[in-house]
C-alpha cells in the first residue's frame, strides 16, 4: 500500500467513525449533559484507537458493523479518560485538542458527569439489540472493560498520580505507561481482531504488536512534551516536567527515549510479520504514524 492509498483509507475511516459517533452520542441528554459529551468527543483528536480497531478488523477479514461500534466505544472510553484526567483533582489542565478542556467550558460537575456518561455509553454501543452476535458483544465488552479498569488505564493513572516527585526506574515507568496508555491501544487492536476469524497465532502476534505500539505511543508523547509547542500539541506543553512527573525523557534522556521509540516500532513490525495474515499494511503504516507524529 502506498502513502496515497493509506491517506484515503484513513480519511474514509475517520469519516465513518465521526458519523457514527455523531449518531450515537446524544444531543438531548438532560440539563446540557449531551452538549458536554459531544463537546468532549466529537470533532477532534487523532482517532488512533478507532483506526487501530478498523485496521485490525480489515487484516482478519472481520465484520464491519461490529468494528465501527468497537471503534466508537474505545474512543468514548478514551475521551472520558481525557475529561477526567484534565480536571483540577487530576492533571489540572485547561487545553485539550486545541480548545478549552471540558471542565473549563462546562464546569467541573458537568465534566465529571459527561465522563461518567461516556463510559457507560461505550458499553451500550457494544451491545445493540441486533447486528452483533451475543458472544462477540461479550468479548468486546470484556476486552474494553479490562483495559480501562484497575489493571489498565485507571490503575496506570493512579500510579502516575502517586509518582509525582519520585524517581522511577525504567521497569516501573514501563509498567505505569503500559497500564495508563498502552493497554487501551492494545485492546483496540484486539477488539478489531475479535471481529473476525483470527487464528491463535495471528491473535498472539497482534497482541504483541499492540503492546509494542502502545508503549511507543507513550514514549513519543513524552518526547513531544519537551520538544513541541502547545500550539502544535493542542495541549499544554511541558506539563509533565512542570508537575515533576517521571517520563521516558526524564528517566532515560532525550536521545535514549528516541532510540527506544524506534526499537518499539521495529518490535511492532516484527510482530506483524509473525501474524501470518495476508495484508497488515494498515497496521504497519499506523505504527509509522505513531512514531513519526509531531503532535
In which band, very low, low, confident or very high, does the pLDDT at 139 lie, cut at 50, 70 and 90?
A: very high
| Alpha carbons 226 and 74: distance in angstroms, whole number | 28
Q: Residue 34 contacts by C-beta under 8 Å, 6 or more apart in sequence?
A: 25, 26, 27, 28
In which band, very low, low, confident or very high, does the pLDDT at 153 lie, cut at 50, 70 and 90?
A: very high
| Lookup: cell for 158 | 493512579
Residue 283 has pLDDT above 80, yes or no: yes
Confirm if 144 and 187 have CB atoms less than 8 A apart.
Answer: yes
**pLDDT tens-digit profile of 91-117?**
899 999 889 999 999 999 999 999 999
**pLDDT tens-digit profile of 128-137?**
999 999 999 9
Q: What b/e string do you get for 226-264 counting C-beta neighbours within 10 Å, with b at 16 or more?
A: eebeeeebbbbbebbeeeebbbbbbbbeeeebbebbeeb
β-strand partners of 44 = none
Q: Is the dihedral of CA 182, 269, 225, 49 positive or negative?
A: negative
* Residue 137 to residues 57, 82, 202, Cα–Cα distance (Å): 15, 25, 21
How high is the pLDDT of residue 21? 98
Average pLDDT over all residues of the chain? 94
β-strand partners of 100 = 95
Q: In the block, which residue shows the cell 521495529?
A: 266
Q: Which range is least confidently modeled, 19-23, 26-30, 91-95, 110-114?
A: 91-95
Confirm if 147 and 207 have CB atoms less than 8 A apart.
Answer: no
| Alpha carbons 116 and 1: distance in angstroms, whole number | 40
How high is the pLDDT of residue 242? 67
| Alpha carbons 48 and 289: distance in angstroms, whole number | 9
**pLDDT tens-digit profile of 194-245?**
999 999 999 999 999 999 999 999 999 999 988 887 676 666 666 767 677 8
pTM of the model: 0.95
- The share of the chain scoring above pLDDT 90, in percent, equals 83
Residue 160 has pLDDT above 70, yes or no: yes
Torsion region of 107: left, alpha or beta (phi above 0 gives left; psi -120 to 50 gives alpha)? left
Residue 63 has pLDDT above 80, yes or no: yes
Amino acid at each position: 500500500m502506498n502513502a496515497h492509498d493509506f491517506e484515503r483509507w484513513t480519511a474514509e475511516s475517520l469519516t465513518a467513525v465521526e458519523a457514527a459517533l455523531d449518531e450515537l452520542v446524544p444531543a438531548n441528554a438532560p440539563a446540557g449533559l449531551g452538549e458536554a459529551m459531544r463537546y468532549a468527543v466529537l470533532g477532534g483528536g487523532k482517532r488512533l484507537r478507532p483506526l487501530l480497531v478498523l485496521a485490525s478488523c480489515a487484516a482478519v477479514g472481520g465484520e464491519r458493523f461490529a468494528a465501527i461500534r468497537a471503534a466508537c466505544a474505545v474512543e468514548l472510553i478514551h475521551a472520558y479518560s481525557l475529561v477526567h484526567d484534565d480536571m483540577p483533582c487530576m492533571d489540572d489542565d485547561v487545553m485539550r485538542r486545541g480548545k478549552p478542556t471540558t471542565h473549563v467550558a462546562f464546569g467541573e460537575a458537568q465534566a465529571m458527569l459527561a465522563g461518567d456518561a461516556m463510559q457507560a455509553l461505550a458499553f451500550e454501543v457494544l451491545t445493540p439489540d441486533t447486528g452483533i452476535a451475543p458472544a462477540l458483544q461479550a468479548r468486546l465488552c470484556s476486552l474494553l472493560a479490562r483495559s480501562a479498569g484497575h489493571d489498565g488505564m485507571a490503575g496506570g493513572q493512579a500510579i502516575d498520580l502517586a509518582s509525582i516527585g519520585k524517581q522511577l526506574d525504567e521497569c516501573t515507568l514501563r509498567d505505569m505507561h503500559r497500564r495508563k496508555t498502552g493497554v487501551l491501544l492494545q485492546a483496540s487492536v484486539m477488539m478489531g481482531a475479535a471481529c473476525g476469524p483470527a487464528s491463535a497465532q495471528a491473535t498472539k502476534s497482534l497482541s504483541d504488536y499492540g503492546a509494542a505500539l502502545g508503549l511507543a505511543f507513550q514514549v513519543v508523547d513524552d518526547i513531544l512534551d519537551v520538544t513541541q509547542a502547545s500550539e502544535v500539541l493542542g495541549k499544554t506543553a511541558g506539563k509533565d516536567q512542570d508537575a515533576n512527573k517521571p517520563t521516558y525523557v526524564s528517566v532515560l534522556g532525550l536521545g535514549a527515549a528516541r532510540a527506544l521509540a524506534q526499537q518499539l516500532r521495529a518490535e511492532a513490525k516484527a510482530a506483524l510479520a509473525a501474524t501470518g495474515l495476508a495484508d497488515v499494511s494498515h497496521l504497519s503504516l499506523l505504527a509509522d504514524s505513531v512514531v513519526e507524529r509531531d503532535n
